[in-house]
Structure 1
């Protein structure tokens, strides 16, 4: 071998060694926290009751139950920009569920994102948030899942495009974007704030929707808002008072919104309505209040500066005004002030978002707050997709976004058409 070849080979080996060291240092090491005792996940009534509550708080049923299928037997399709994932059976069936799992296996899945057989799990299962869940809560969840009726339901193989179907690619993703770690309390904050942070950042996995994702599907781990991939809804920022930030809200109104789906001047719809119906309304008031305290404390301030929105042509606004008077004013008022239970549109933050998708979808599909114990007969808004065509919806939403103090950009018929055929969930 020539001297030049030896030098080149040495350089290559050196680079590979440096890469190996960097990977070793950066690789998200698995963490193990032992159970307090075997009784921690035993089938006691206390463990099962606590686990059932935590499953509600984490809204486990929403993903692990297919429409029309057995609860927690999996099979729900989750569309992603990389293909389709199918949620697994988490009932205690020994052949197709988690009947052969140990409490340690379950902890490893929540905390380290690894299955019992060693496979890396896709982060559509939000272990990037669940890693913060305590071992005690993990064990209680496991005890409750083991108490469910076994449901034989074979797990479906994911349908992902290459290279996203590769465990090697997933390992690279984890190297870049995942580091396991339990929730650490902030000693400068009180017990209530820390409890709220634990629920919002961990079991509640709020950042799964309310954060921006990059081209590889990784969340920025904040709550700054983002378009939810494939389902066509925008989860507004919880840190910006110009979007859904709660810093200026009364604590009681935040609690009311989370537990009932409605509060003075606000209501939830779309995916958040499902969260309230299936999860938040079943939590005790102390926990919801702790979440409110934490959410209210998040940095608010003003939204990032945006260029002044272009104003739509006057003929578009005139036609929008006509459509509003014909279809909307009877409930929302001649000046968008809102009548009775129907919300005001004047100064409505949902209409001023840079991304207009939520307003478009509410006009197309209707707006329905969830039926909850605190609001069992919610008022809703009917859909207009069968009444208005794409151009009319665009004209109406443009008018709403430019009237009564709202000053957001016009909407095009192409934007409306993009979401007309998108499924509701």
Structure 2
């Protein structure tokens, strides 16, 4: 072989090697992007049973119509989505439809995921192709008739769902548009923070107005209420809550803590700031009335306040302060805490009874938690101390009745 030919072949091999290396780098970048986006979508939370393999499905999602079991989305060809194409995956997100035209139940939040771009859908698909395959079989949903008939979803979709595309607002900043895209799409915030009608659908006019999470009896507070929304929060406070589960205004508990643990703590600083920018821009609306609003006689409210003050001084003041001021970075404040005084008192009742256990995050690896008082306080006592907290130090929440405590204690 002549020296000239040898040099030519060497150059060609080097070019192929460089091309292969660039392709591998591109593939790795796509997978890394998909992993990040899957975290924002909190995919692992629903698609992983307690103690199970990641993304192997099996977790039950309770609904008013029965239980929907999240499917296996690992790349196993027989039981996961290993036989799906990128087009199939995109269609599931965008249209709520699996291969073969199988209609998906909206417990899978495709009414929000429909806004995910094709580029981002492809990245998530590329990432899921890299996770460990699992042969775990999908469990049949346990839905009451007629909700178990998938064909009826055609009617639900005709009333409440239409595939959509996120359209950036040219009058807004890039950060605002990024935040809107994440909140409306992958973050699927409306799925919890909006009231639902009798058919389990959210209404565009009441989006982000707050809602009791079906069958879980945790209240996802309003994000746009003039009374209990984020209007008085700073962007820094919102960012801190998203990434650590706590802020000077309060802390996350219940399902939101799980979201912080699996998803939000991994937000980049820029994306967390973008979400805060968008949420701060939401028009402040009056909080809609709740079906669980109750009238409490002034005399009974006064008795509850008196008894609640006694209990608070004995059981709560050592951590939360005599005036509900809390301890910065340790115990959340109760004074001015909109979640405590929300229209629906589910969260403070449940926290008093079950305790408040925050999850560790990278920025808050050793959080403080609150013990359960279920065995130490009667329903009357819980109603009293929650009433006291909701009506003291400037808080404007209504009084709570013992029967409400009984409702949440029983898990109904």
TM-score by length of 1: 0.86
Q: Assess, with a 3 A threshold, how the Cα gap between structure 1 residues 251 and 178 changes in structure 2: closer, same or farther.
A: same
Q: Assess, with a 3 A threshold, how the Cα gap between structure 1 residues 228 and 41 changes in structure 2: closer, same or farther.
A: farther
Q: How far has the Cα of 1:415 moved from its partner?
A: 1.2
Q: Any conservation in 2 of the 1:401–1:410 contact (CA below 8 Å)?
A: yes
Structure 2: 5+ residue stretches without partners: 1-21
Structural mapping, 1:315-326, within 5 Å: 315-326=303-314
Are 1:158 and 2:146 counterparts? no
Residue 279 of structure 1 corresponds to 263
Q: Any conservation in 2 of the 1:347–1:404 contact (CA below 8 Å)?
A: yes
Q: Deviations over 1:203-235 (max 9, x none)?
A: 110001000100000011411111110001011
- From 348, 355, 360, the equivalent of 1:359 is 348
Structural mapping, 1:329-408, within 5 Å: 329-340=317-328, 341-408=330-397
Q: Any conservation in 1 of the 2:301–2:399 contact (CA below 8 Å)?
A: no
Structural mapping, 1:263-302, within 5 Å: 263-300=247-284
Deviation >6 Å, runs of 4+: 39-43, 305-309
- From 114, 123, 126, the equivalent of 1:140 is 123
Residue 35 of structure 1 corresponds to none
Instruction: Tell me whether 132-141 or 313-322 shows the greater mean CA deviation.
Output: 313-322
| 3-state SS of paired residue (1:44) | helix
Structural mapping, 1:184-333, within 5 Å: 184-221=167-204, 222-243=207-228, 245-300=229-284, 303=287, 310-311=297-298, 312-333=300-321
Partner Cα separation in structure 2 for residue 241 and residue 266 of structure 1: 18
Instruction: Tell me whether 401-410 or 319-328 shows the greater mean CA deviation.
Output: 401-410
Q: Assess, with a 3 A threshold, how the Cα gap between structure 1 residues 41 and 237 changes in structure 2: closer, same or farther.
A: farther
Q: Assess, with a 3 A threshold, how the Cα gap between structure 1 residues 234 and 334 changes in structure 2: closer, same or farther.
A: same
Structure 1: 5+ residue stretches without partners: 1-38
Partner Cα separation in structure 2 for residue 399 and residue 246 of structure 1: 23
| 3-state SS of paired residue (2:398) | coil
Residue 12 of structure 2 corresponds to none
Residue 7 of structure 2 corresponds to none
Residue 124 of structure 1 corresponds to 107
Q: Deviations over 1:139-188 (max 9, x none)?
A: 11111111111100111111111111112311100000000011111111
Partner Cα separation in structure 2 for residue 155 and residue 42 of structure 1: 34
- CA RMSD between the two structures: 2.2
| 3-state SS of paired residue (1:381) | coil
Q: Any conservation in 2 of the 1:40–1:139 contact (CA below 8 Å)?
A: no
Q: Deviations over 1:37-64 (max 9, x none)?
A: xx99999211111111111110000100
TM-score by length of 2: 0.88
Partner Cα separation in structure 2 for residue 398 and residue 172 of structure 1: 43
